[in-house]
């Protein structure tokens, strides 16, 4: 079948896009719409499912099938859809509060089960929709309406969490970098199985410039670590800094202080997640040198495929059956 030809306009709806002026969600929306136009999948085969939060208005603005669901439960609903309709391209839109607080269990179990869903986690390190309370990714000491004396909670590192849940694909990008975002979307779509992309997203009303160390014209040179598969991990002005792996952890060193062979060459396809996890611990948020890119890209059996195989096997052993007729028979039956 010939791949459909689309433009970004084909994925725009007639709904007024209603986020605060300057919100990073606008840029993410544009990146996703631009990518969808080139993805090669019919619009009727694409579904966006969201939970609750600023990010979760997303399905209204995508001219595909979609569902604005309930707080934290988008991965659960997406799991059911992916399991029953493996022919669809299922995308989950969630935020740091939606995914990592009330939705924490749903997120980790969707990842460990390895359903073929793509989860975009917008991380602005704040509760924006409810007007500025601290979130599960807010830094220690964060003063907000709900933590006037400063947050005492140690924040989640979403990438580390996803790797701990055995996710096969984990990446991180920035709202402002459209090209990098599209690159991560393309890689996630190509991956067969669960994929999570953390997207640092600026909330210019309640948490403005939270990612300035990675987005500022001067600051980003020293702090943005771009991980490119097959390339040594180097960064900084003149690529003067490098990442090495020592004593079970990744460290940042002056490039001139180590031999070239000591510099870590990035390989997200390593089966063992140790190095991917070590890279995720280089920064516990967007402060100082922070890795961006694909941390892990390893395929393993997909839940829907295994479930379908079980059903085929069960039918082959027990013969054909008609579940609908059984349920409508108004009789009784025994299960052995």
Residue 230: inside a domain: no
Residue 198: inside a domain: yes
Residue 265: inside a domain: no
Residue 197: inside a domain: yes
pLDDT tens string 145-166 = 999 999 999 999 999 999 999 9
Residue 322: inside a domain: no
For 156, other C-beta atoms within 10 Å of its C-beta total 20
How many angstroms separate the CA atoms of 201 and 208, rounded? 10
CATH code, 19? 3.40.50.970
How many angstroms separate the CA atoms of 302 and 319, rounded? 26
Residue 125: inside a domain: yes
Residue 264: inside a domain: no
pLDDT tens string 278-306 = 999 999 899 999 999 999 999 999 999 99
Residue 231: inside a domain: no
Q: Is the dihedral of CA 249, 250, 253, 258 positive or negative?
A: positive
Q: Which domain holds residue 294?
A: 8-220+289-303
- 336 residues of the chain, pLDDT tens digit each: 677 899 999 999 999 999 999 999 999 999 999 999 999 999 999 999 999 999 999 999 999 999 999 999 999 999 999 999 999 999 999 999 999 999 999 999 999 999 999 999 999 999 999 989 999 999 999 999 999 999 999 999 999 999 999 999 999 999 999 999 999 999 999 999 999 999 999 999 999 999 999 999 999 999 999 999 999 999 999 999 999 999 999 999 999 999 999 999 999 999 999 999 999 999 989 999 999 999 999 999 999 999 999 888 888 887 777 777 777 887 776 776
* Sequence-separated (6 or more) residues with CB below 8 Å from residue 257: none
For 103, other C-beta atoms within 10 Å of its C-beta total 25
- How many separate domains does the chain show? 1
């Amino acid at each position: 079948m010939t791949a459909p030809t689309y433009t970004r306009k084909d994925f725009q709806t007639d709904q007024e896009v209603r986020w605060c002026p300057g919100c990073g969600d606008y840029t993410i929306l544009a990146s996703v719409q631009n990518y969808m136009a080139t993805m090669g999948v019919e619009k009727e085969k694409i579904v966006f499912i969201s939970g609750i939060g600023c990010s979760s208005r997303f399905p209204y603005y995508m001219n595909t099938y979609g569902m604005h669901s309930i707080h934290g439960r988008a991965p659960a609903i997406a799991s059911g859809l992916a399991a029953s309709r493996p022919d669809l391209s299922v995308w989950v839109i969630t935020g740091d509060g939606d995914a990592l607080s009330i939705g924490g269990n749903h997120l980790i179990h969707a990842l460990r089960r390895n359903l073929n869903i793509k989860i975009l986690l917008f991380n602005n390190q704040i509760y924006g929709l409810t007007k500025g309370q601290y979130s599960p990714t807010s830094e220690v000491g964060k003063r907000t309406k709900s933590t006037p004396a400063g947050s005492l909670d140690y924040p989640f590192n979403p990438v580390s969490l996803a790797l701990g849940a055995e996710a096969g694909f984990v990446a991180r990008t920035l709202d402002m970098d459209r090209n990098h975002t599209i690159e991560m979307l393309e890689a996630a779509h190509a991956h067969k199985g669960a994929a999570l992309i953390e997207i640092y997203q600026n909330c210019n009303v309640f948490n403005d410039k939270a990612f300035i160390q990675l987005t500022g014209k001067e600051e980003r040179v020293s702090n943005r670590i771009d991980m490119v598969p097959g390339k040594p991990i180097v960064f900084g002005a003149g690529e003067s800094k490098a990442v090495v792996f020592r004593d079970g952890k990744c460290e940042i060193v002056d490039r001139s202080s180590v031999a070239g062979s000591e510099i870590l060459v990035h390989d997200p396809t390593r089966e063992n997640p140790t190095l991917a996890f070590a890279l995720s611990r280089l920064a516990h948020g967007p402060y100082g040198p922070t890795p961006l890119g694909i941390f892990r890209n390893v395929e393993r059996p997909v839940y829907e495929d295994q479930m379908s195989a079980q059903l085929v096997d069960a039918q082959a052993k027990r013969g054909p059956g008609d579940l609908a007729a059984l349920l409508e028979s108004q009789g009784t039956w025994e299960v052995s």
